Chain A
């Protein structure tokens, strides 16, 4: 098992490297460069040249890349080509924000969706199951910016219960903080849970046609126990994997929610980075996303191993 985990970690590093190359190549393929984007319409050839010199953009690409790689390895994320602020300072707080949001959403949605998924599996065909299946289906079937905006218009503009933007700051009171976070959290929980509920249900129902389930029935075990004890334990692997992927999404993919609720998170920063052609910034974000993904997947694998006696304690 250790061997397996270590192997995964090594593979993870390879993946990280591939990502860095990939992102580097892509960002360089983008039209226009930092200077042009930042100076925008009012850029003059001179000012562009000066800007590039100032930010070291006039050096050859490979040079830039390896420079970046070197710093990266020595833990230095470098300087934003756009703003000139250190990237760590740009990322620092946003990383925290992102993690906080992802964390809370996970804490709510994971138990919720696994619970509901199990419930749906427990009473298949009943109205609970039907409504859950259809509800989740409906939710994953509309663009999330639609859901988000819709809720803003209802809860913020029409009813005025909640603030429409998540402007969080240190001096806020807990109450205010929760109020301003309420809506983005809600939207994300909905979006993420829908997926996980479906997967949990599917996973459970898949093992339901295996002989040991029939055996349990023939032993007179209650359906509830069959699901929770016999089926669930054999489904943990895939379910955990789904959860991991959804968490990865929460860290890296929530740009729409962050934009709509003006929540200062990583995903939006990354998009800004791309739009300002801020190579080091994009690279840094990409690395973080990739790392999160890798770590989560490894955790998922470990969890799957632990849940599976065959792997946990071989003969």
Chain B
């Protein structure tokens, strides 16, 4: 190391040079998934792939009304030839096909909505944390207001007011969940804002945007990513509960939530294994959301995160 030859103990300096400063930093930790986490990844990837290619691998069109009887049991033959591998739904449509098509709707919408929620929530949250004062006050109050109202009520109000279309649904979910994202983002923002490296950036005279995007955000990224997973799950469930009120994805588009809702009656009416009609989409939802949670569990375990403390909402 040092090659300086001045200083109180020059000679010791030279023959000591074999003794390097020891590396006291802990060995770098990389995210390591447990086997459950790995399963989660596989399932999520599977559904994402389906979301992309679903319509092409699906045996029938999502809107195809194939025969005269609703709620045919899995494996039933179709009049025109072919088989309902998972049975048919109330409108005599092929459930397998609709589950496959539905992936695009459900996964797609929830992902986009969550992304938007993050765009809004994080920007506002960090801004509030950075700017403080009135900005913070106003943003926080509006946010409280949104948080204090039941999501389903807000959803109802917005969707009824603007009519249920996919963009509207996405927007609604985004706005509603942006408010909880805001809380977390703000909390992390405030925490990171007091860090010395942020201060030194300020001392350097950096702009607020640099501080938000280069200093603060990267450090909040990991925990926020974890929360992103959970938020995604909430959005999926939110949209399906909207479809409970008949405001979810509109026919003939298939989305898992409204498929469960629409075929719920099968558990009551249908004969034989036709009663499984609502189970398939429910399974799809469950597998997707559980998978995400499995990953999230691993990640948050890794990032050790005080996440839970902030992830309240």
A144 within 8 A of B: yes
**Given A141-B286, A146-B282, A271-B245, do A206 and B261 touch, yes or no (CB 8 Å)?**
no
Query: Interface segment, B60-68, B203-211, B236-244?
Result: B236-244
Nearest-neighbour CB distance to chain A for B236, whole angstroms, equals 9
Query: Which of B144, B241, B294, B306 is within 8 Å of A143, CB to CB?
Result: B241
B161 within 8 A of A: yes
B260 within 8 A of A: yes
Are B241 and A256 neighbours in the complex by a CB distance under 8 Å? Answer: yes
Interface residues of A in 269-287 (CB under 8 A from B): 270-271, 274-275, 286
B268 within 8 A of A: yes
Query: Which of A149, A245, A270 is within 8 Å of B153, CB to CB?
Result: A270
Are B278 and A146 neighbours in the complex by a CB distance under 8 Å? Answer: yes
Interface residues of B in 254-313 (CB under 8 A from A): 257, 260-261, 264, 267-268, 278, 282, 285-286, 289-290, 293-294, 297, 300-301, 304-309, 312-313
Q: Which residues of the other chain, A, contact B8 by a CB distance below 8 angstroms?
A: none
Please, which residue of chain B has its CB at the minimum distance from the CB of A255? B152
Are B150 and A206 neighbours in the complex by a CB distance under 8 Å? Answer: no
**Given A15-B145, A290-B148, do A153 and B267 touch, yes or no (CB 8 Å)?**
yes
Are A202 and B157 neighbours in the complex by a CB distance under 8 Å? Answer: no
A23 within 8 A of B: yes
Are B289 and A141 neighbours in the complex by a CB distance under 8 Å? Answer: yes
Are A144 and B148 neighbours in the complex by a CB distance under 8 Å? Answer: no
Are B304 and A245 neighbours in the complex by a CB distance under 8 Å? Answer: no
Q: Once the chains are docked, how many angstroms separate the CA of A294 from the CA of B145?
A: 10
Q: Which residues of the other chain, B, contact A145 by a CB distance below 8 angstroms?
A: 241, 244, 260-261, 264
Q: Main SS of the interface on chain B?
A: helix
B147 within 8 A of A: yes
Are B145 and A146 neighbours in the complex by a CB distance under 8 Å? Answer: no
A216 within 8 A of B: no
Q: Which residues of the other chain, B, contact A22 by a CB distance below 8 angstroms?
A: 145-146, 149
Q: Which residues of the other chain, B, contact A144 by a CB distance below 8 angstroms?
A: 241
Q: Which residues of the other chain, B, contact A293 by a CB distance below 8 angstroms?
A: 147-148
Please, which residue of chain A has its CB at the minimum distance from the CB of B237? A143
Query: Which of A143, A271, A286 is within 8 Å of B282, CB to CB?
Result: A143
Are B161 and A30 neighbours in the complex by a CB distance under 8 Å? Answer: yes
Are A253 and B261 neighbours in the complex by a CB distance under 8 Å? Answer: no
Query: Which of B237, B268, B313 is within 8 Å of A245, CB to CB?
Result: B313
Q: Which residues of the other chain, B, contact A149 by a CB distance below 8 angstroms?
A: 264, 267
Are A15 and B307 neighbours in the complex by a CB distance under 8 Å? Answer: no
**Given A157-B268, A289-B150, do A256 and B289 touch, yes or no (CB 8 Å)?**
no
Nearest-neighbour CB distance to chain B for A210, whole angstroms, equals 10
Are B156 and A271 neighbours in the complex by a CB distance under 8 Å? Answer: yes
Please, which residue of chain B has its CB at the minimum distance from the CB of A145? B244
Are B148 and A15 neighbours in the complex by a CB distance under 8 Å? Answer: yes
Are B304 and A253 neighbours in the complex by a CB distance under 8 Å? Answer: no
Q: Once the chains are docked, how many angstroms separate the CA of A294 from the CA of B18?
A: 64
Most buried by A among B144, B278, B306: B144
Are A206 and B309 neighbours in the complex by a CB distance under 8 Å? Answer: yes
Q: Once the chains are docked, how many angstroms separate the CA of A140 from the CA of B233?
A: 9
**Given A31-B160, A242-B312, do A153 and B268 touch, yes or no (CB 8 Å)?**
yes
A177 within 8 A of B: no
Nearest-neighbour CB distance to chain B for A209, whole angstroms, equals 6
A186 within 8 A of B: no
A199 within 8 A of B: yes
B142 within 8 A of A: yes
Interface string of A155-166 (1 = CB under 8 A from B): 001000000000
Nearest-neighbour CB distance to chain B for A126, whole angstroms, equals 15
Chain A: interface residue count, which band? Answer: 35 or more
A18 within 8 A of B: yes
Interface string of B28-70 (1 = CB under 8 A from A): 0000000000000000000000000000000000000000000
A218 within 8 A of B: no
Q: Once the chains are docked, how many angstroms separate the CA of A255 from the CA of B312?
A: 22
Q: Which residues of the other chain, A, contact B23 by a CB distance below 8 angstroms?
A: none
**Given A141-B233, A145-B264, A238-B308, do A18 and B141 touch, yes or no (CB 8 Å)?**
yes
Q: Once the chains are docked, how many angstroms separate the CA of A271 from the CA of B151?
A: 12
Q: Which residues of the other chain, A, contact B145 by a CB distance below 8 angstroms?
A: 15, 18-19, 22, 290
Are B285 and A143 neighbours in the complex by a CB distance under 8 Å? Answer: yes
Q: Which residues of the other chain, A, contact B278 by a CB distance below 8 angstroms?
A: 146
B158 within 8 A of A: yes
Are B158 and A26 neighbours in the complex by a CB distance under 8 Å? Answer: yes
Q: Which residues of the other chain, B, contact A241 by a CB distance below 8 angstroms?
A: 312
Are B241 and A19 neighbours in the complex by a CB distance under 8 Å? Answer: no
Please, which residue of chain A has its CB at the minimum distance from the CB of B140? A11
Are B141 and A11 neighbours in the complex by a CB distance under 8 Å? Answer: yes
A237 within 8 A of B: yes
Q: Which residues of the other chain, B, contact A206 by a CB distance below 8 angstroms?
A: 304-309
Nearest-neighbour CB distance to chain B for A213, whole angstroms, equals 13
Are B161 and A26 neighbours in the complex by a CB distance under 8 Å? Answer: yes
Interface string of A16-43 (1 = CB under 8 A from B): 0011001100110111000000000000
Are B153 and A271 neighbours in the complex by a CB distance under 8 Å? Answer: yes
Q: Once the chains are docked, how many angstroms separate the CA of A275 from the CA of B257?
A: 22
A-B contact list, 24 entries, CB within 8 Å: A15-B141, A15-B144, A18-B142, A18-B144, A19-B145, A19-B148, A22-B146, A22-B149, A30-B161, A143-B282, A145-B260, A153-B268, A199-B308, A199-B312, A202-B300, A202-B307, A206-B306, A206-B307, A238-B312, A241-B312, A252-B149, A270-B150, A274-B157, A275-B160
Would you list the 10 A-B pairs with minimal beta carbon distance, nearest first?
A202-B308, A293-B148, A141-B289, A18-B145, A252-B150, A253-B150, A29-B161, A290-B148, A26-B157, A15-B144
With A252-B149, A259-B244, A271-B245 already in contact, 10 other A-B pairs whose C-beta atoms are closer than 8 Å? A29-B157, A29-B162, A138-B290, A142-B285, A206-B305, A242-B312, A267-B153, A289-B149, A290-B145, A290-B149
